[in-house]
Amino acid sequence: MTSPATAADAAHAPLAPFRRPGLRGLRLFGQGPLFALSVAVLAVLVLVAALAPVIAPYDPEALDLSASLVGTSGDHLLGTDQSGRDILSRLIHGARTGLLGPLLVVAVSTALGTVLGAVAAWRGGWTDTFLSRSMDLVFAIPGLLLAILLVAVAGSGMTAPVVAMAVAYTPYAGRLVRGIARQEKARPYIESYRVQGWSGWTICLRHLLPNIAPTVLAQSAMNFGYALMDLAALSFLGFGVQPPTADWGAMINDGQAAVLQGAILPALAPSACIVLAVVAFGIVGEGLADRIARRER
Amino acid sequence: MTEQKHLTHDTGAPPGAPGEAPVLEIDGLGVRLPDGQAARPILDGVGLRVAPGETVGLVGESGSGKSVACRSVLGLLPPGALTTGQVRVAGRDVLTMSRAELTALRARQVAMVFQDPRASVNPLRRVGDFLTEGLRAAGTSAAAATARAEELLDAVGIRDPRGALRRRPHQFSGGMLQRVVIAAALAAEPALLVADEPTTALDVTTQAEIIAILTRLRAERGTGLLFVTHDLELAAAICDRVYVMYAGRIVETRRTDELFDRPRHPYTAGLLTCAPRIERDAPPPRPIPGRPVSLAEAPSGCAFAARCAHALPRCTEEPPVPARYGDGLTACHRADEGITL
Amino acid sequence: MTRFLTGRLLGLVAVLFVTSLVVFGSVHLAPGDPVSFLLHGRPATPEAVEALRSQYHLDDPLPLQYVKWLGSALQGDFGRSTQYHQDVSSLIGSRMAGTLILIGYSALLVALLGVAAGIGAALHPGLFDRAVLIGTGVATATPAFVSAIVLVSVFSVRLGWFPGPGGTPTGLGERLYHLTLPAFALALTFAGLLARVTRSAMLDELGREHVEVARARGVAGRTVVRRHVLRNALGPVVTVGGTMLAGLLISTSIVETAFNVPGLGSLLVQSVTAKDFAVVQAITLLSVAAFAVVNVVVDLLVPLIDPRLSLRGEGSS
């Protein structure tokens, strides 16, 4: 049962654009203590985002033009930006939009992809062909372009980029789930439940999905990092969260002028946050995938 | 450090070739992985000799170390492996050779035929490239190498050699590809050919053809042949002498006829009686109980004792040293008692 | 092979068709009346309204609007830019060269840096390999706009080796000099990924028996690496490298904006901000088309480089 699935996948593959999460197995990041460290980094990020108003030393949007581009000091641990806003406070508040956007993208695309992939695998036949081809089509349109087009239509803000990215990321989850679900479906235990008279929905919900969940979770962690990068890029272009709300991508955009004046911190600090978060999500995603692979061996 | 004991011992040289220098002499060869990776050495005190033009069999189960032993002849060792003893080809120790000397040795003096021809040939390159590559490495000009490649393909019975040179490996059957590999191995007229299970990956009918070609060409050219196999019957059919290997040690060596008529080591006897026979009055095959010793186990005494029907308490305490019985050597405490098959 | 080819081409046509529908339909998806959306705050003079109605054939039924719009687009007529008061096609034409040079420069860097690092890592296990793994790990997690910030700060502001954002270079040499930092910023992420792919493809091939056989035959080490390892690793490297070419195209909008490079990417971003919708439509359509075409071309080229990757699952010979 598995060989026709892979042959069909290969036949669909050509439409696939640059496929990042598909490059699993390359082991971009290591295992071991790094995994624990990355989990800790993510936990701290989530905590900081949740407690932002409590722990941020200043109002992230408070202008103080007399204190423009102040370097690191006891008052401002990471200095201030061109408008005299405290960078650390903006970073802390920026973690909120920085994590919320990708969270929405990953949640929606994973839910949608799981349903589409599972239905395609379970029903097979024309349903499968139609859903698979549709996902191929979406896959062939770059998410960033889709987002830019949507921003052009609906205007800047969180909504258009998140919706576009959720659509663009759905085929990743969809293809993954379809692939595993087809393999699972071919296993004897599913057949034995069928023989016992269980309905397809019950088997899917109670047995198929729990077996797929760990792999989907690992993939989601990696997609989270990529979505964070993509959304930050859109913010950087001025299409995401609008000023004066603190956001990492937008902060880098704001900080560009200061870089030319020799002050790199306003742009470097949010850059470091983005890279750190993406690396941490990558390590966690790969670590999870490794664990699953080892458990199945 | 048991291998130290066997460092210099008789390697069972063929009585028929006294004055002639052997093409291959392995003396007290020990190969072990770095600490912690294995409990026992892969090879321990291996001694082996091949005279010019002689065909010698090296027989053992998978994991016995026979592949490591034959690869060591070309200086191919497992990564990080530590060696003791000597592997001399035409009198020079392979284990101490520089990289350049090894390359020259492989290009001119020793050639190897591997088990799976499909895996041995780069699937992306033409068959002609594969054949001429070795010759070019040995310093032959391009035109001469092509001409020679054609002759060789003709010699191994491939029709339309010129066309074959331009074809790709996937256009050949396994047997035809193994002929190509043999042709390539013989290209530089090596003094010694090492064949590591050259027919195991092939169909039975193809096996016979390959063996026929191999033995014919070897005889025509007077090449020494070290034939590695798990099949004692096959070894007996083509070899002058046979070495039997178990758990990294040579347990017995003698002339083929005597080995069959009067095996001295219980393991050799076991290999003979576990092969099914066609003769009407032949006894049913008797498998050797137990399984081979893995690298993670280091039995004290004789490694075969656990599976041996004739084992004495002494066998598990004290490793037997190869000693001369009849025309060959046997490493068994009870070798002098003789075995009835 | 014919089936393979027709399948790919049909897929390409499907992608282009769906994209054109989305790009065309987006005008009508926008909230409110298409004319007021397209005008976007500009004075609604009768001439301006009339020009838009005829440009988008708004008086025709919807399917006919689409056919007419697509017909013009296929002939290279994407309407007029409200921002530059110029034909979109000539505007795109004037910006095309900058973007193509940037992509070409960057692709060269990706290929050189990525493949070299990957080969080096595969052939030198230990410290060098570890360094490449860490370096490429960080590179793949670094978005182009972050690289841009760091590169400008170090090589332009601190060291002064390269010009910062902006400037109007003349001549190819000066142009390339100005594009060096943008090209590196664009290349870094992709080079990291290609290095990983190259490394694992090389390690795969190094472990194959035919490589050991070649060594056992006395073929010199360098020759073995060149003729057997590199040659055989080329297939996956070209496959991924080709799809990266398409990825580079999409990322130009970020890098061109960061470095103020006048190209298609920065034009797209400006046009979105300025609500110059005809330009947005044209660039989106062209980008998806280029993206899809590059991917199909790679799929057709790869079997020539590595026959093993060709008729996946369709049997040999």
* pLDDT level of residue A110 (50, 70, 90 thresholds): very high
How far from each other are the two terminal CA atoms of chain B, in whole angstroms?
A: 34
Phi first, then psi, for residue B244 (nearest 5°) are -105, 130
What residues of C are in contact with residue B174 (Cβ under 8 Å)?
A: none
* pLDDT level of residue C275 (50, 70, 90 thresholds): confident
Decide: helix, strand or coil at residue B192. strand
pLDDT at A31: 57
For C106, residues 6+ apart whose C-beta sits below 8 A from its C-beta are C182, C183, C184, C186, C187, C190, C248
What mean pLDDT do residues B129-143 have?
84
Q: How many domains does chain B have?
A: 1
Residue at C12 is within a domain: yes
Binding partners of C (≥3 Cβ pairs within 8 A):
A, B
CATH of the domain at B222: 3.40.50.300
Q: How far is A175 from chain C (nearest CA, A)?
A: 17
Q: How far is C108 from chain B (nearest CA, A)?
A: 26
Q: How far is B133 from chain C (nearest CA, A)?
A: 7
Q: pLDDT tens digits for C35-89?
A: 777 776 677 778 778 877 777 777 778 888 888 888 888 888 888 888 888 888 8
Q: Per the CB < 8 Å rule, is C26 touching A153?
A: yes
Q: pLDDT tens digits for A126-135?
A: 999 899 888 9
- Domain segments of chain A: what residues? 30-58+78-296
* pLDDT level of residue A296 (50, 70, 90 thresholds): low
What mean pLDDT do residues B179-208 have?
87
Residue at C184 is within a domain: yes
C-alpha to C-alpha distance for A168 and A191, rounded to whole angstroms: 34
What residues of B are in contact with residue C213 (Cβ under 8 Å)?
A: 112, 114, 120-121
Task: Please say if the pLDDT value at position A170 is more than 90.
Answer: yes
Q: How far is C137 from chain A (nearest CA, A)?
A: 6
Q: Per the CB < 8 Å rule, is A7 touching C287?
A: no
Residue (of A103, A105, A97, A101) closest to A49 by Cα position = A97
Cβ-Cβ contacts under 8 Å between B and C: the total is 77
Decide: helix, strand or coil at residue A214. helix
Asked whether the beta carbons of A170 and A109 are under 8 A apart, the reply is yes
* pLDDT level of residue B16 (50, 70, 90 thresholds): very low
Site from B133, B173, B192, B197 to mutate, C interface, most C CB atoms within 10 angstroms: B133
Instruction: Give the number of other Cβ atoms within 10 Å of residue B172's Cβ.
Output: 19
* pLDDT level of residue B331 (50, 70, 90 thresholds): confident
Q: How far is CA B121 from CA A167, B75, C78, C307, in A?
A: 46, 20, 55, 15
- For B322, left (φ over 0), alpha (ψ -120 to 50), or beta? beta
Instruction: Give the number of other Cβ atoms within 10 Å of residue B333's Cβ.
Output: 20
The token duo for B233 is 């019957």
CATH of the domain at C251: 1.10.3720.10
Instruction: Give the number of other Cβ atoms within 10 Å of residue A191's Cβ.
Output: 12
* pLDDT level of residue A163 (50, 70, 90 thresholds): very high
What mean pLDDT do residues C142-161 have?
86
C-alpha to C-alpha distance for C250 and A145, rounded to whole angstroms: 7
Bridge partners of residue B196, in order along the sequence = B228
> CA-based angle C172:C177:C180, to the nearest 5?
120
Task: Please say if the pLDDT value at position A28 is more than 60.
Answer: no
B with C: touching (≥3 Cβ pairs within 8 Å): yes
Decide: helix, strand or coil at residue B263. coil
A with C: touching (≥3 Cβ pairs within 8 Å): yes
Residue at C14 is within a domain: yes
Taking the alpha carbons of B209, B215, B221, B223 in that order, is the dihedral positive or negative? positive
What residues of B are in contact with residue C232 (Cβ under 8 Å)?
A: 122-124
Q: Per the CB < 8 Å rule, is C219 touching B137?
A: yes
Asked whether the beta carbons of C65 and C56 are under 8 A apart, the reply is yes
The token duo for B75 is 């200086």
Look at the block and give the residue holding tokens 């201030």. A80
Task: Please say if the pLDDT value at position B77 is more than 60.
Answer: yes
DSSP category for residue C83? T
Of C75, C91, C114, the position where a domain reaches its end is: C75
For C256, residues 6+ apart whose C-beta sits below 8 A from its C-beta are C98, C99, C102, C182, C262, C263, C264, C265, C266, C269
Residue at B60 is within a domain: yes
Q: How many domains does chain C have?
A: 2
Secondary-structure percent of chain B, ordered helix, strand, coil, rounded to 5:
35, 20, 45
User: Does C149 lie in the same domain as C14?
Assistant: no
The fold of A30-58+78-296 is: MetI-like fold (1.10.3720)
B173–C contact, CB cutoff 8 A: no
What residues of C are in contact with residue B112 (Cβ under 8 Å)?
A: 213, 216-217
Residue of A nearest to C244 (CA): A18
C-alpha to C-alpha distance for A26 and A73, rounded to whole angstroms: 43
User: Does C121 lie in the same domain as C16?
Assistant: no
Q: pLDDT tens digits for B169-190?
A: 888 888 889 889 988 888 888 8
Residue at C85 is within a domain: no
| C-alpha count within 13 angstroms, C-beta hemisphere, residue A186 | 12
Bridge partners of residue C80, in order along the sequence = C87
Residue at B261 is within a domain: yes
pTM, entire model: 0.81
C-alpha to C-alpha distance for A181 and A174, rounded to whole angstroms: 10
ipTM: 0.86
User: Does C156 lie in the same domain as C21?
Assistant: no
Q: Per the CB < 8 Å rule, is C149 touching A264?
A: yes
What residues of C are in contact with residue A26 (Cβ under 8 Å)?
A: 196-197, 200
Residue at B319 is within a domain: yes
Of C258, C275, C292, the position where a domain reaches its end is: C275
More confident residue, A74 or B89: B89
Secondary-structure percent of chain C, ordered helix, strand, coil, rounded to 5:
80, 0, 20
Residue of C nearest to B102 (CA): C218
Task: Give the type of residue at A264.
Answer: I
The token duo for B115 is 């088990």
Residue at C145 is within a domain: yes
Task: Please say if the pLDDT value at position C310 is more than 60.
Answer: no
Q: What's the domain range around B330?
A: 47-67+103-275+291-337
User: Does C23 lie in the same domain as C107?
Assistant: no
| C-alpha count within 13 angstroms, C-beta hemisphere, residue C66 | 13
Q: pLDDT tens digits for B29-58?
A: 999 888 778 888 888 889 899 988 899 999
Residue at B221 is within a domain: yes
Binding partners of A (≥3 Cβ pairs within 8 A):
C
Q: Per the CB < 8 Å rule, is C254 touching A236?
A: yes
Q: What's the domain range around C264?
A: 102-275
C-alpha to C-alpha distance for C16 and C285, rounded to whole angstroms: 8
User: Does C262 lie in the same domain as C122?
Assistant: yes
Residue of C nearest to A226 (CA): C141
Instruction: Give the number of other Cβ atoms within 10 Å of residue A238's Cβ.
Output: 18
- Looking at chain A, list the stretches that DSSP marks H as alpha helix, in order from N- to C-terminal side: 2-12, 33-50, 52-55, 87-123, 125-139, 143-154, 159-185, 188-195, 200-203, 209-236, 248-260, 265-296
More confident residue, A198 or B100: B100
How far from each other are the two terminal CA atoms of chain C, in whole angstroms?
A: 11
